[in-house]
């Protein structure tokens, strides 16, 4: 049995506009990398975290990668000693599924090192528990796509019922991360606890149509279904020039555009790489015009989820 492993887990687009808390889509890049090694200490420890500017907790029980490992070991009743090194490539508070990616990579890593006693899908509860520690509620809309890849529908959390939705081959994702931070907790606090019947009807019509558009490879339908009347109108103010960003992206190759997870990252879905590059650049320029530095990531859909890197 190997004693050391390095695992990559991708960023993900939570919600995908209309699918608030129930849809998530994995991208190919960027993502976090977690290195795990076994030892005889009987303890789970975080050896180091690179790329977080010292902001993440080094205490395993408070760090999402540590929590995922602790929960995994609890489930197989093991007191194995584990050391974790986290390469935090995803920006904190970005809405790209940053906390989920570290947890997912750690869960995949420890499972493999322990001889794969669990199937990949059975690792999801450990990443969700880590999400609960990080942001107060156990969403699967980032953890599930980061773990399994592709577009995932979370029909039910308790008991977990998740459905993998096929996505068309030429679908490209754009993530533009403006250099500001929005905490998921804060972005959830601006939401209302109730919505009108009309908004409910609009939202579930679009969610169903988006899934149908993916399955039928109908890009136009995907584009016109990327509408969120529940969270986006209340969160738009948290992102400078969001409405301008969206209009510009739609004029420059995007099928649809919205807030990635709880923001501030903006996402677009496009048909083809060239359209995605164009949309990404157009959004970058809108942010630069208001002196907001940002980073653009263009990628295909990640269809395999988290995976071990050959080191
Ligand atoms: N779906 C949640 C939200 C978590 O939008 O608040 C972020 O992915």
pLDDT digits (tens, 9 = 90+) for 230-270: 999 999 999 999 999 999 999 999 999 999 999 999 999 99
Confidence of residue 311 (pLDDT cuts 50, 70, 90): low
pLDDT tens profile 78-100: 999 999 999 999 998 899 999 99
Instruction: In whole angstroms, give the CA distance from residue 95 to residue 238.
Output: 12
Residue 180 pLDDT > 80 = yes
The phi, psi pair for 209, rounded to 5°, reads -70, -35
Mean model confidence pLDDT for the chain? 95
Does residue 15 line the site of ligand 1, with CB under 6 A? yes
Strand partners, 25: 13, 151
Instruction: In whole angstroms, give the CA distance from residue 24 to residue 16.
Output: 6
Element (H, E) at 4: strand 4-14
Does residue 139 line the site of ligand 1, with CB under 6 A? yes
Q: Tell me which residue has tokens 């169903």.
A: 208
Q: How would you classify the pairing of strands 44-50 and 81-87?
A: parallel
98-113 and 124-135 helices, crossing angle to 10° = 140
Provide the whole-model pTM: 0.95
Q: Which atom of ligand 1 is nearest to the CA of 262?
A: 5
**Cα end-to-end span (Å), the chain:** 16
Q: How would you classify the pairing of strands 161-165 and 266-271?
A: unpaired
Does residue 14 line the site of ligand 1, with CB under 6 A? yes
């Amino acid at each position: 049995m190997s004693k050391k492993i390095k695992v990559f887990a991708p960023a993900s687009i939570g919600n995908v506009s209309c699918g608030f808390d129930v849809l998530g889509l994995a991208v190919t890049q960027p993502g976090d990398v977690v290195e795990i090694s076994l030892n005889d200490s009987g303890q789970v420890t975080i050896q180091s975290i690179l790329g977080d500017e010292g902001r993440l907790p080094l205490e395993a029980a408070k760090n999402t990668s540590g929590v995922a490992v602790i929960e995994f070991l609890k489930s197989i009743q093991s007191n194995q000693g584990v050391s974790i090194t986290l390469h935090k490539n995803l920006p904190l508070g970005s809405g790209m599924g940053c906390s989920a990616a570290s947890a997912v990579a750690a869960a995949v890593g420890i499972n493999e090192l322990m001889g794969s006693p669990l199937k990949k899908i059975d690792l999801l509860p450990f990443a969700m528990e880590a999400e609960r520690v990080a942001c107060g509620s156990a969403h699967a809309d980032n953890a599930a796509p980061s773990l399994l890849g592709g577009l995932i529908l979370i029909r039910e959390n308790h008991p977990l019922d998740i459905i993998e939705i096929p996505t068309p081959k030429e679908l490209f994702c754009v993530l533009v991360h403006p250099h500001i931070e929005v905490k998921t907790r804060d972005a959830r606090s601006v939401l209302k606890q109730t919505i009108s019947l009309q908004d409910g009807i609009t939202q579930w019509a679009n969610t169903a149509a988006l899934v149908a558009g993916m399955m039928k490879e109908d890009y136009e339908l995907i584009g016109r279904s990327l509408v969120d009347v529940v969270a986006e109108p209340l969160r738009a103010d948290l992102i400078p020039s969001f409405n301008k960003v969206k209009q510009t992206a739609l004029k420059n190759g995007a099928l649809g555009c919205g807030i990635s997870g709880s923001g501030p990252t903006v996402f677009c879905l496009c048909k083809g790489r060239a359209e995605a590059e164009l949309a990404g650049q157009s959004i970058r320029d809108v942010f630069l015009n208001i002196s907001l530095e940002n980073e653009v990531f263009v990628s295909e859909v990640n269809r395999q989820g988290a995976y071990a890197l050959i080191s």
